[in-house]
Amino acid sequence: MNLVRSNVAKMDGYTPGEQPRDRSYVKLNTNENPYPPSPAVFRAVHEFDPGRLRLYSEPLSLELRELAGAPFGLDRDWVLAGNGSDDLLTIALRTFVDQGGLCAYTHPSYSLYPVLVDLQGARHAAIELDEEFGLPADLVQQATGASLLIVCRPNAPTGNVFPLDTMHRVCAEFPGVVWIDEAYGDFAADSCLDFVRQYPNVVVSHTMSKSYSLAGLRLGFAFADPGLIAEMLKVKDSYNLDMMTQAVGAAALRDRDYMLANCQRVRATRDTLVATLDSLGFHTLPSQTNFILTRPPMAADRMFVALRERGYLVRYFRDPRIADRLRVSIGTDAEMAGFVQAVRAILAAETQA
């Protein structure tokens, strides 16, 4: 007798980036924000009354949804709040993809998507990005038969954006739900958020993990036509956001300017880093995120190990399409200066060998 559903027994779980405990590293491996969250978050944590935890949290996260929609002129019935945007993606699969149904997503992209498809017991259409990691011209044709198409923009782990007019065409032509994962949207020059007003089949998701420096809080939002939001509300856990997250998240959302200023700092650091690395012989993809995907002038896996030995943790993917590259999250200016120093030392040792 099998104790486990066959699709679960067969699948590999998602592998998150390491959160090492063996020594202290400069963590440039999971796209966390190097800056602390807003001072308003510190105050909200301090002022939170634990006596309230006796009660259940407010199930519909009404205040959070209102605050999250406001900057975009969207009422709360256009917004769904999730326990991180990973929770929202799980809700997406459970709402829009039948067991045995088809889910399309691009590759290389966020490696959680195929894991969620397996969990749902659905079939995959992994659609290859082109040579420059752009969307293939026949994306919609390749996604034929899928009820859900997930596109990450800016894309992870490549960092690039797809042109807005291409995104418009995909959303207009694809007959199912198009889920646009904008986990890094706050770092980008433009956004597809407005699409939700125009296309009743489009969902755009955001997270507070990266731009708001709140990865540990677990809070994300999906924006869509109220018709789709209402269906997803049926699927979410009844109390999917705890009371502390609701209080702290609301404080952070009220201080959006702090987040935007941090994004600006991260972008400036990123552009300096890219120029420096490229002068050292790296080739870096244009990034609109808080990370870069860069090809070092030596084997990427060996550079990964050498960086680790020097206390810098970056992300190396064995995926053959990007196995010659490293993904480096943007830290503070001081962290990046140290990183560049380590890189120079590794390259010098490499030329001597």
Ligand X SMILES: *Cc1c(COP(=O)(O)O)cnc(C)c1O
Contact residues for ligand X, defined by CB under 6 A: 31, 84-86, 110, 152, 156, 181, 183, 207, 209, 215, 220
Q: How far is the CB of 42 from ligand X (least distance, A)?
A: 20
Pairwise CA distance, residues 266 & 28, whole Å: 13
- Annotate 123-189 with DSSP letters as a single string: EEEEEEP-TTSPPPTTHHHHTTT-SEEEEESS-TTT-----HHHHHHHHHH-SSEEEEE-TTGGGSS
Q: Which one, of 172, 263, 170, lies nearest residue 213 by Cα?
A: 263
Phi, psi of 135 (to 5 degrees): -70, 135
Q: How far is the CB of 119 from ligand X (least distance, A)?
A: 15
312 pairs with which residues across the strands?
A: 26
Contact (CB, 8 A) for 148 and 228: no
Q: How far is the CB of 86 from ligand X (least distance, A)?
A: 3
Q: Which is nearer to ligand X, 85 or 201 (CB)?
A: 85
Instruction: Give me the residue label for tokens 């088809």.
Output: 102
Q: How far is the CB of 31 from ligand X (least distance, A)?
A: 6
Q: Which is nearer to ligand X, 101 or 185 (CB)?
A: 185
Q: Which is nearer to ligand X, 183 or 298 (CB)?
A: 183
Q: How far is the CB of 290 from ligand X (least distance, A)?
A: 10
Q: Which is nearer to ligand X, 195 or 347 (CB)?
A: 195
Pairwise CA distance, residues 186 & 288, whole Å: 9
Q: Which is nearer to ligand X, 34 or 84 (CB)?
A: 84
Q: Which is nearer to ligand X, 205 or 294 (CB)?
A: 205
Written in H, E and C, the secondary structure of 320-335 is CCCCCCEEEECCCHHH
Pairwise CA distance, residues 167 & 213, whole Å: 28
Pairwise CA distance, residues 313 & 68, whole Å: 33
Q: How far is the CB of 164 from ligand X (least distance, A)?
A: 19
